[in-house]
A and B are shown apart, each in its own frame.
Chain A
Amino acid sequence: MNQFIMSMDAGGTMTDTFFVDDTGRFVVGKAQTTPADESIGFGRSVEDALAQWGQAPEAVFPKVATGIYSGTSMLNRLLERKGRRLGVIVTAGMEDYFQLERGIQTYLGYSYQDRLKVSTHRHNQPLVPRERMKGVRGRIDLFGTEAIPLYEHEAEAAVAELLDMDVEGIVVNLLFSYVNGAHENAVKEAALKVMQRKGKSVPIYLSSELYPVMQDFARLNTVTIEAYAAEPSRGQFQKIADRAKNFGGQFELRVMASHGGTISTEARELARTLISGPIGGMVGARYLGAELGIGNIVCSDIGGTSFDLGLITGGEFTTKTQPDMARFVLKLPLVDIDSVGAGTGSYVRLDPISKRIEFGPDSAGSRIGMCFEQGGVDTPTLSDCNIILGNLNPNNFLGGEVILNKERSYQAIKERIADPLGLDPYDAAEGVLQLFENHLRNEVYARVFGKGYSPEDYTLFSYGGGGPMHVAGYTKGLNFADVLVPAWAAGFSAFGCACADFEYRLDRTVNVATASPDLAPAAFEQGFDLLSGAVNAGWEGLRAKVKDEFAKSGVEAGQIEYRHCLRVQYVGQLNDVEIELPFQAIRSVDDIREIIERFEAAYSKEFSRSAKSPELGYLVTNVLVRGVVKVMKPALPNFPLHGPEPTADALKEIRPIYRNGKWHDARIFDMDELLPGNVITGPAVIEASSTTFMVPPGAEARLDQHLIFHLRHLED
């Protein structure tokens, strides 16, 4: 026991901390989140975790090599509109940006039904009110040339007015500044002059410096959120870092970012740490896959409120560049994850008119369901169905901390679901679960098949508190190469955060086109200088920025591994595809051929081979540089294998479970007592304190030396 990795997740209600040592031994601690000063909850959670090892924080922290933060405080600051008081300077004529928004922002995050129901659409409360939005005349055109010079006196007046309104920061977002930032720089200079004259100083955020990417409105959102919500979070991080230091920690606290790497709390672009929750699982799955030699993975995570799905293909996940968060469209890289609004706590209702069973979209969340009397829930949930069928042990929820009332579940399902349908309550509950699992199975299938892949080539990982309960249901008949359930499924997201590399990913829009070398050789040769010049300069600039960011954490240039990527599309089409290149500068036409080859390979995989359109020519939209520094990762547990038969200690009881219209005597096992090598044949239920793994009749689960269950459907 020499070194530890610590990761924490400060969620809306609970702060989890996860410690793993270099043999793969781990503990998870929990404590109430303390929003005003998160470091208090962090401290308690750490104590709770380490107490399980009988250790004091002071004994462990000096040996912590890596500490990673993820949390929702920044998101909450945004949702509650408790960010900083900002002023915004835009190109004159665009001052109503936040009032008008893009139409899509009025229904982001809605169910499909609500998207169609216009009366539910609603504008967001602007982050910056109209009176603090100032327009300045001047125009850079799309090629980056100055069409109208900047009216500097207007910029000065705007800054002066904003300063008089006591703003705490000024955001500058002018049209086409990603091609040419000259006007934004001029606004900054004007602002500095005015500030000096007025004896006031507030930070200035230029979109051309922070997020030099196209799509004006999304860029404005991103820069504004950076200034509004991300910047104030630095103080919060500092408090947590200080607490860790008080425990004797020597490490630099890093933050999980939306691109799947961790970044320093001093990073310039901190807004990308806004969401990190579901990404942890993807990062963990990618790492686990690499360790186990599995390149193609379907990640599935069931929590109380949602079902998250992501694909890892060839050891890499894909990245969205224009995600939405908290009802804002943003320009940030985000690991591609789809979320379906159905989890174990989702409410189950009967449509009073059509008598159709509906799930969610709302859920009981931490209040579980009708079975949890103190929760005050008055609609049955999927958990209630699991309870009455014997799938869930009412005395084992959170390791028995919460005792659930099976009778209440039964009554609720009888009255609300079964009686109106004229069904037996057990049949009704089983029907509901089957419907839920079918729904998930369709989603899984659609994600894999819709991308042109086949489940046979993929291994499915199931995690999250609710994943293991339903995994057999939603994988049945899909013929995945393997179905894996890690024994630490409930803490998998925290584990995943600990698996993330120290990585910056910066991008910049360039928009340069090239013709096809085969169809228009002359034009192709001619365009070489323009393309190579723009891409090479872009990459070089981004490499320098990445180096600067790492320098803040004391990382030397030699330790950084650079990866050079481009986003390319056919000229005139709308969707660009990200490709990685094996070189860091374009030196010859062969390099451009390589770009085209890689783009077309990726394009035909994502869309279709027959959709290739070389006659249109190729447009490089963005240049990207990823700088990665390898860090210590959690070790995979590795235990000697035992025989297939579990020990007598592992068997807790025999409990009837209802499945396929009849009761079965299921063996109930204690997950902690199972030994690597054991094979459990269904019907069986494997219980741990934070999750329950269902092995239905006709399936079996084998625990391997890494404490990962392999689920197999014997009948398939």
Chain B
Amino acid sequence: MSVSHDINTLRELKDGKLSFEKLHGLISGFKDADRFDKMVQIWQESVEWDDPILLPLAEHLFVVRKPDGRRVVKSTWGYEYCDVQENWKLHAKVFVRDSEELINEIYPDKLGCDPEWMQLREYYDPLSGALLEVEVVPPGYPIVHDFKPDIDTFYRDWLGRPVP
């Protein structure tokens, strides 16, 4: 017996509109086998471009298949960053908070870190200006590559089909 949720329920889940009672049921219940496909469908409906989504990568970021077969990281607003094997952060707008003054804008008084020891790196979507990710690292630390998905294996071994 496999569990499956109504697509409208999942749509409400994505939009944060599910009542807590329903959400609780979802969290506590058995996993639904078709969640991935339904969520991809919901995400696809929510964006204005047509490139098929292969995998949601992070908030507002997706791996999409271009007509020529390339797998590209693309934002909700349509900005195409790079090939999925590359780090998309290298193609985003970056703002580094590395002085007391800049850190204090976020963490006033003594709540912030010492810029000699720690800095905040903010990554923005070039098209919309939305903040996508923040890194808190020591100065000089290489840019973190959060997630390097093995899409072929995921489709083959987990979903049981080749990548579309």
- A interface residues, Cβ below 8 angstroms from B: 111, 113-114, 117, 119-120, 122, 349-353, 362, 415-417, 420
Q: Are A120 and B1 in contact (CB under 8 A)?
A: no
State whether A122 touches B1 (Cβ < 8 A): no
How far, in Å, is A304 (CB) from chain B's closest CB?
Answer: 19
Are A122 and B28 also in contact (CB < 8 A) when A416-B1, A420-B1 are? no
Interface set of B (CB-CB < 8 Å, partner A): 1-3, 20, 24-25, 27-28, 30-31, 33
Contact of B2 among A113, A114, A352, A417 (CB under 8 A): A352
Q: Tell me which residues across on chain B come within 8 A of A350, comparing CB atoms.
A: 1
**A352 contacts which of B1, B20, B24, B25 (Cβ < 8 Å)?**
B1
Contact indicator A349/B27 (Cβ below 8 Å): no
Contacts of A362 in B (CB 8 A): 25
Known pairs A122-B20, A352-B33; A114 contacts B28 (CB<8 A): yes
Closest Cβ of chain A: how far from B21's Cβ, in Å? Answer: 10
Shortest Cβ distance from A354 into B: residue: B30
Min distance, Cβ A696 to any Cβ of chain B, angstroms? 29
Complex contact B3–A352 (CB within 8 A): yes
> What separation, in Å, do the CA atoms of A362 and B28 have in the docked complex?
11
Alpha-carbon distance A607/B9, docked complex (angstroms): 49
Query: With A114-B24, A120-B27, A352-B1 given, can you name 5 additional A-B contacts, CB distance below 8 Å?
Result: A120-B28, A122-B24, A349-B30, A352-B31, A353-B31
Shortest CB-to-CB span from B33 to chain A, Å, is 7
Bound Cα distance A113, B2 (Å): 20
- Chain B residue nearest to A121 (CB atoms) is B24
Which B residue's beta carbon lies closest to that of A355? B1
Complex contact A119–B1 (CB within 8 A):
no
Q: Which of A117, A119, A352, A416 has the most chain B CB atoms inside 10 A of its CB?
A: A352
Whole-angstrom distance between the Cβ of B47 and the nearest chain A Cβ: 27
B1 & A349 in contact (Cβ 8 Å cutoff): yes
Residues of A within 8 A of B20 (CB): 122
The 5 closest A-B pairs by CB, nearest first: A416-B1, A350-B1, A352-B2, A120-B27, A352-B30
> Contact: B31 with A113, CB < 8 Å?
no
Instruction: Write out the residue numbers on chain B whose beta carbons fall within 8 Å of the beta carbon of A420.
Output: 1
The complex places the Cα of A287 from the Cα of B125 at a distance, in Å, of 74
A352 to B30, CA, bound (A): 7
Contacts known (A349-B1, A350-B1, A352-B1); A119 close to B30, Cβ less than 8 A = no
Chain A residue nearest to B30 in the complex (CB): A352
CB contacts (< 8 Å) of A122 on chain B: these are 20, 24
Name 17 interchain pairs, CB-CB below 8 A, sorted by A: A111-B28, A113-B28, A114-B28, A117-B27, A119-B27, A122-B20, A122-B24, A349-B1, A349-B30, A351-B30, A352-B1, A352-B2, A352-B3, A352-B31, A353-B31, A416-B1, A420-B1
Closest A residue by C-beta to B20? A122
CA distance A417 to B3 in the complex (A): 13
Rounded to whole angstroms, the CA-CA distance of A350 and B29 in the bound complex is 11
Nearest chain B residue, comparing its CB with the CB of A362? B25
CB-defined contacts of B25 to chain A, threshold 8 Å: 362
Residue of B1, B25, B27 ringed by the most chain A CB atoms within 10 A: B1
Listed residue (B25, B30, B31) with the most chain A CB atoms within 10 angstroms of its CB: B30
Which residues of chain B are near A416, meaning CB under 8 Å?
1
Tell me the complex Cα distance, A362–B2, Å.
18
- From residue B29, how far is it (CB to closest CB) to chain A in Å? 9
Contacts of A415 in B (CB 8 A): 1
Asked if A120 and B2 sit within 8 Å, CB to CB, the answer is no
Q: A420's closest neighbor in chain B, by CB? A: B1
User: In whole angstroms, what is the CA distance A122 to B33 when docked?
Assistant: 27
User: Which chain B residue lies CB-closest to A358?
Assistant: B30
A161 to B34, CA, bound (A): 55
Complex formed: what's the CA distance from A524 to B30 in Å? 60
Q: How far is the CA of A517 from the CA of B24 in the complex (A)?
A: 55
Q: Which residue of B is nearest A361, CB measured?
A: B28
Could you tell me the distance in whole angstroms from the C-beta of B160 to the nearest C-beta in chain A?
15
A residues near B31, Cβ cutoff 8 Å: 352-353
The residues of B that contact A113 with a CB separation of less than 8 Å are 28
> Smallest distance from the beta carbon of A412 to chain B beta carbons, Å?
10
Q: How far is the CB of B34 from chain A (nearest CB, A)?
A: 12
Q: How far is the CA of A71 from the CA of B161 in the complex (A)?
A: 57
Q: Which of B1, B2, B28 contacts A117 (CB 8 A)?
A: B28
Interchain CA distance A628-B110 in the complex, whole Å: 63
Residues of chain A with a CB closer than 8 A to B2's CB: 352
Contact across chains for B30 and A120 when beta carbons are under 8 A apart: no
| B24 and A120 contact, CB distance less than 8 A | yes
| Residue from B3, B25, B28, B33 whose CB has the most chain A CB atoms within 10 Å | B28
Closest chain A CB from B82 CB (angstroms): 33
**Set of chain B residues within 8 Å of A352, measured between Cβ atoms:** 1-3, 30-31, 33
Min Cβ gap B31→A in Å is 7
Task: Across the interface, name the chain B residue whose C-beta is closest to A421.
Answer: B1
Instruction: Please report the C-alpha to C-alpha distance between residue A115 and residue B81 in the assembled complex, in whole angstroms.
Output: 42
Q: How far is the CA of A117 from the CA of B28 in the complex (A)?
A: 8
CA A352 – CA B25 in complex, angstroms?
A: 16
Chain B residues, Cβ within 8 Å of A119: 27
In Å, the complex CA distance between A349 and B33 comes to 16
Residues on B with C-beta less than 8 A from A349 are 1, 30
Which residues on the A side are within 8 Å of B33 (C-beta)? Answer: 352
Bound Cα distance from A636 to B27, whole angstroms: 50
Question: Which residues on B sit within 8 Å (CB–CB) of A117?
Answer: 27-28
How far apart sit A353 and B30, CA to CA, in the bound complex (Å)?
9
Residues of B within 8 A of A417 (CB): 1
What distance in Å separates the Cβ of B18 from its nearest Cβ neighbour in chain A? 13
CA–CA, A398 and B31, complex, Å: 37
Residues of A within 8 A of B30 (CB): 349, 351-353
Q: Shortest Cβ distance from B65 into chain A, in angstroms?
A: 30
Complexed CA–CA distance, A119 and B28 (Å): 9
CB distance from B14 to the nearest CB of A (A): 16
Shortest distance from the beta carbon of A51 to any chain B beta carbon, whole Å: 39
Q: Nearest Cβ distance between residue B30 and chain A, in whole angstroms?
A: 5
Cα of A415 to Cα of B30 in the assembled complex, Å: 18
Nearest CB of chain A from residue B78's CB, rounded to whole Å: 32
Among A114, A120, A349, the most chain B Cβ lie within 10 Å of the Cβ of A120
Q: Which residue of A lies closest to B28 (CB)?
A: A114
Q: For residue A351, which residues in chain B have a CB less than 8 angstroms away from its CB? A: 30
Report B-chain residues with C-beta under 8 Å of the C-beta of A114: 24, 28
| Chain A, Cβ-Cβ closest to B23 | A120
A419 to chain B, nearest CB (A): 9
Q: List the A residue with the shortest CB-CB distance to B24.
A: A120
**A113 (CB) vs chain B CBs: closest residue:** B28
Closest to B33 in A: A352
What's the Cα separation between A19 and B1 when bound, in Å?
47
Say how far A522's CB is from chain B's closest CB, in angstroms. 56
CA distance in complex: A351, B2 (Å): 9
Separation in Å of the A507 CB from the closest CB of chain B? 36
Task: State the Cβ distance, B132 to closest chain A Cβ, in Å.
Answer: 24
Could you say which residues of chain B place their CB within 8 Å of the CB of A120? 24, 27-28
Given the complex, which residues of A lie within 8 Å of B3, measured CB to CB?
352
Nearest-CB distance from A203 to chain B (Å)? 33
The CA-CA distance from A352 to B24 in the complex, in Å, is: 19
Q: How far, in Å, is A602 (CB) from chain B's closest CB?
A: 39
Query: Roughly how many angstroms separate A349 CA and B31 CA in the complex, as a whole number?
Result: 13
How distant is the Cα of A416 from the Cα of B28 in the complex, in angstroms? 19
Chain B residue nearest to A351 in the complex (CB): B30
A349 and B20 alpha carbons, distance in the complex (Å): 23
Q: Distance (Å) between the CB of B131 and the closest chain A CB?
A: 24
A117 to B: closest C-beta gap in Å = 7
Which residue on A lies nearest to B32, using beta carbons? A352
CA distance A563 to B28 in the complex (A): 47
A114 to B28 Cα, complex, angstroms: 7
User: Whole-angstrom distance from the CB of B32 to the nearest CB of chain A?
Assistant: 9
Q: Kindly report which residue of chain B lies nearest to residue A122, judged by CB atoms.
A: B20
A122 and B24 alpha carbons, distance in the complex (Å): 10
Report A-chain residues with C-beta under 8 Å of the C-beta of B27: 117, 119-120
Give, as a whole number of angstroms, the nearest-CB distance from B13 to chain A: 13
